[in-house]
Structure 1
Amino acid sequence: MTGEMIQTKAKEFLKKMYGDANSEFNFSIGWLERFKARLEINSYRRFGESGLIVVENIEDALPQIRAKLENFDWKDIYNMDDIGLFYHLQILFISLMLE
């Protein structure tokens, strides 16, 4: 998730909440930095294999993965490494930004 994505979504929220009344409000780099500091959003650089992942490929594969998982009960689905937690955190933020 980039700063530009956060700024774009913030503009959309402002328009949904207040219409064009605050159209002159500027979501500057300074606003973005204060927003990230307030919510304790940090940037992490990916190294190794995780740096090679293309998010679009993951998004394309998700429907197929979900279809396969429908054959199992939730109690039978496990992920035993921390990579899964990091992945779910990214998906959570992406889904929140796209709402």
Structure 2
Amino acid sequence: MTREIIQTKSKEFLQKMYGDANFEFNFSVGWIEWFKARHGIKSYRRFGKSGSIVMENIEDALPQIRAKLENFDDIYNMDEIDLFYSL
């Protein structure tokens, strides 16, 4: 969830709650960061190859992948193979 989304929705809620009372309330960056910290809202940016993945395709294929993996006893995360090789 980005700052812009939180700021826009906050302004919409303020408008719905108080109408056209012409409040001069400013949802500053500090206020938004406090709001996100209080409610545990975090945003992540994907880098490299993971940024080009379409999540809907993964969600559709995930049950098939899990079914195939049930036949294996040991499954390793190959992203961290360099760490284990160095040890």
TM-score, normalised to structure 1, is 0.48
RMSD: 2.8
2:35 is aligned to 35
Say if 2:51 is the partner of 1:51.
Answer: yes
Distance 2:61 2:46 in 1: 24
Distance 1:23 1:79 in 2: 48
TM-score, normalised to structure 2, is 0.54
Encode CA deviations 1:52-88: one digit per residue, 9 max, x unaligned.
Answer: 258xxx7xxxxxxxxxxxxxxxxxx98437xxxxxxx
Encode CA deviations 1:28-58: one digit per residue, 9 max, x unaligned.
Answer: 001100000010111212134441258xxx7
Task: Indicate how the Cα distance of structure 1 residues 53 and 16 shifts in structure 2: closer, same or farther if over 3 A, else same.
Answer: farther
Amino acid at match of 1:44: Y
Distance 2:51 2:10 in 1: 27
Structure showing greater relative contact order (alpha-carbon pairs closer than 8 Å, 6 or more residues apart): 1
1:13, distance to aligned residue in structure 2 (A): 0.8
Q: Percent identity?
A: 68
2:11 is aligned to 11
Distance 1:14 1:79 in 2: 41
Tell me how many residue pairs correspond in the alignment.
60
Amino acid at match of 1:40: G
2:24 is aligned to 24
Distance 1:35 1:22 in 2: 23
